[in-house]
Chain A
Amino acid sequence: MSSTEQGTSSAAPAEPTTAPESAAAPEVPESFYYVHGKDKVVHKVSAGALQHSALIHGMISNLGYTEEQAKANPFPFENIDGDILQMVVDWCNQHKGKPTPPEDTNLPKQKEKLFDLVLAVNYLEIKELLTYCCKQVAMMVKGKSPEEIREIWMIPTDAEDEAAEKEAKKRAGKEAAGETAAAAGDAK
């Protein structure tokens, strides 16, 4: 049941007040980490931006590094080219603390790097960027003929696949023979 309470006070209407600055919650300084790729160029990235990467987020979540410690211990990603890592870092910075839009206009545009970018993003477990990249790969063949698809996605013909398979078998055979010979040499 609702009720109406009648007041008797004749106080002046409340005015909006500004809290004194000293009462505001102290701002937590943003922490930064450092990463480098194959080229050893170190990138300083905020923890907020790195949250996009499930891999790095998992690595840093319990570290409690000071600024100096973080600087002294950059995360090495030797399997990622420097320019690719730069693209990934840029994307993470642009999307720091923001929900990712359904269509991302900030995607790296260099298609020649797309293959390496997809592999890097997959390795770093950046789910949204991976979906965007894969979508870009899928869109490359939209409405194309099988011949055009073969060219764009570099699909080898059956004959090329067979030749490559034969070659791989031959190589494997040679390697196995070499190992057997080496083992026989060791035994002597």
Chain B
Amino acid sequence: MPIALLNFPTDLLGEVFRLCDPFDLYKLSKCSKRARKSIKLGNTKSWKITFSFQNDMNIWVDRYRNYYFKKTENPEDYFKREHMEYMYVQFPDGGALDFSIDLIETFGIRIVGTLSFPSDIFDNFSNVVTALTDRNMEIEEVQIGGTEAGQDVFNFMPLMNQMNTIQDFRCFPKFPSNFHHLFDKYPNNINIHFSSWFTIDQLLDCTSVHITLFRSTLNNQDLNMFLQKWKKAGTFPNLRSLIILHTETIDNQSRILDMVPPIKIADNPRIRVSMKDRDSIVDPVQVKKDDGTVGWLVVEDHREHDGSLEFLM
């Protein structure tokens, strides 16, 4: 028996929509402009979207419920569900980007959970940035995939400063040696796999909470400069960890905080310092800020081991 849903008072309509999943509401949006307009009553604005630029788009209703919209060319499969979490849809001519914009506008989504760029699909990156910045979208995580950064990725990095990235920045590809990028605003967590472009000036300026740099070119003098600055009261108020791994520029030729690498304690019993849900380090040396804040430091010389510096607060 049919029921005239749009005649419900708005608060009841919202209650019904809150009990629907994104697939049902997406299908409802295809019924009419009025239906599409009313969908946001279902608190859909709090949902997050993931941009992966492959053949599916992902909506997070909350931490535990994800819904994948999968592209299909076969009209017979449109709106067919596969398990609970997948539904086949037709992507518009503009592909994944236009489909994402359709989802963002249909549901009134304000947050991008993850913006993931595989390095070979950068054709329309500037359109993505424009689409997101025009809508003042908040981006929790930016992920740049691949191993070698092509010209497209090279061009993308400056545009990243236009986006409101607040949580995580993960960058996997290797950039040419002449590449430079300065963050206007640092995300909370930085994780860079080929980090030679992340210079000491940036590290000294960085306001992130967790910094992880692989294959860094920061040397003993740079790291000494960083730690000397850290020791001063009021500096790096957000920082909880600096992890530098697989580096060939930390050696045993000069001092870091008056200690020559390797820097660790050799006493028994061994001690482990760990951060909740994150890294842990073994046999660290204690270092203190002028205000009494304690940090724990382990440095390995690359000639003896894999060069590394791990610093937790």
Which A residues have a C-beta under 8 Å from some C-beta of B?
A: 111-112, 114-115, 118-119, 122, 130-131, 134-135, 137-138, 140-146, 149-158, 161
Contacts and interface: CB of A to CB of B under 8 A. Distances in A.
Given A141-B28, A146-B79, A149-B27, A111 B3 contact: yes
A9 B4 CA distance: 79
B2 A146 contact: no
Nearest to B33: A158
Contacts of A131: 15, 19
Contact of A149 (B1, B9, B11, B24): B24
B1 A112 contact: yes
Q: Which 5 A-B pairs have the closest CB atoms?
A: A153-B5, A138-B19, A146-B30, A155-B31, A111-B1
B24 A150 contact: no
Interface residues of B, number: 28
B24 A153 contact: no
Interface in B185-221: none
Nearest to A160: B32
A172 to B, nearest CB: 18
26 contacts: A115-B8, A118-B8, A118-B12, A119-B9, A119-B12, A122-B11, A131-B19, A135-B19, A137-B5, A138-B20, A141-B27, A143-B81, A144-B24, A146-B27, A146-B28, A150-B32, A152-B3, A153-B5, A154-B3, A155-B5, A155-B34, A155-B35, A156-B32, A157-B32, A158-B34, A161-B34
A153 B33 contact: no
Contacts of B35: 155
B265 interface: no
Contacts of A112: 1
Interface of B: 1-9, 11-12, 15-20, 24, 27-28, 30-35, 79, 81
A122 B32 contact: no
A154 B19 contact: no
Contacts of B81: 143
Contact of B2 (A142, A143, A151): A151
Nearest to B81: A143
Given A153-B4, A155-B31, A161-B32, 19 more contacts: A115-B3, A115-B7, A118-B8, A122-B12, A137-B3, A137-B5, A137-B16, A138-B19, A138-B20, A141-B27, A146-B31, A149-B28, A149-B31, A153-B28, A154-B2, A155-B6, A155-B32, A156-B32, A158-B34
Nearest to A135: B19
Contacts of A156: 6, 32, 34
B15 A130 contact: yes
B9 A115 contact: no
